[in-house]
Amino acid sequence: MKTFFSLFAALSLYALQSTVVLAHTPLMFSIPAQDALLKESPKVVMLHFGDPVRMLSLDLTKANQSIEFGFNRNNEATDHIEFELPALQPGSYEFAWSAIGADGHRVSGVIAFQLDPDASETSPGKQPKADEHQHHHALILRTQHQGS
């Protein structure tokens, strides 16, 4: 009987941990996207999450130099974060972001992109795999890239 309860406790703990791992809030898409190659400076940085988050940090760097763009933490959780950007010079950039989801867990990532006015064409970069929610936004992204 003692073995049964030990096994039950271990399986319960495993199930609980698996649920927590699955509960983390995913980044659905970003502008600019990971590995995007842009001919023009992006006007905004936009992050769209699967669930509301509170942004803890959003840092833009070029060659390890921080670039100020007016990031402020949001007090109310939201699934859509957007900030205007200053005109960026050609080069390689990174956005390092960190947020806390409704589940209380921190999520973070880095979005690297390049700005090259001499590139033959703009490459939108990589986005997470599309699901029903992202199909709506894929049209927005295409429209923004075509309008530039």
List Cβ neighbours of 19 (8 Å cut-off, separation of 6 or more): none
List Cβ neighbours of 126 (8 Å cut-off, separation of 6 or more): 33, 34, 35
Check residues 9 and 79 and name the one with the higher pLDDT. 79
- Residue 3 has a pLDDT of 57
- Residue 33 has a pLDDT of 95
Residue 24 reports pLDDT greater than 70: yes
Per-domain residue ranges of the chain: 25-147
Quick check: 48 and 27 in contact, CB under 8 A? yes
Instruction: Report the predicted TM-score, pTM, of the whole model to 2 decimal places.
Output: 0.71
CA 132/CA 115 separation, integer angstroms:
30
The strand ranges marked E within the chain are: 27-31, 36-38, 44-62, 65-67, 78-84, 91-101, 106-115
Give which of 124, 21, 104, 17 is closest to 56, Cα–Cα: 104
- CATH architecture of the domain 25-147 equals Sandwich (2.60)
- Residue 136 has a pLDDT of 41
pLDDT digits (tens, 9 = 90+) for 115-126: 999 998 888 888
Q: 């833009």: which residue's tokens?
A: 60
Mean pLDDT of the chain: 79
- Residue 127 has a pLDDT of 79
pLDDT digits (tens, 9 = 90+) for 52-104: 999 999 999 999 999 999 999 998 999 999 999 999 999 999 999 999 998 88
- Residue 1 has a pLDDT of 55
Q: What is the mean pLDDT of residues 14-23?
A: 40
pLDDT digits (tens, 9 = 90+) for 25-57: 889 999 999 999 999 999 999 999 999 999 999
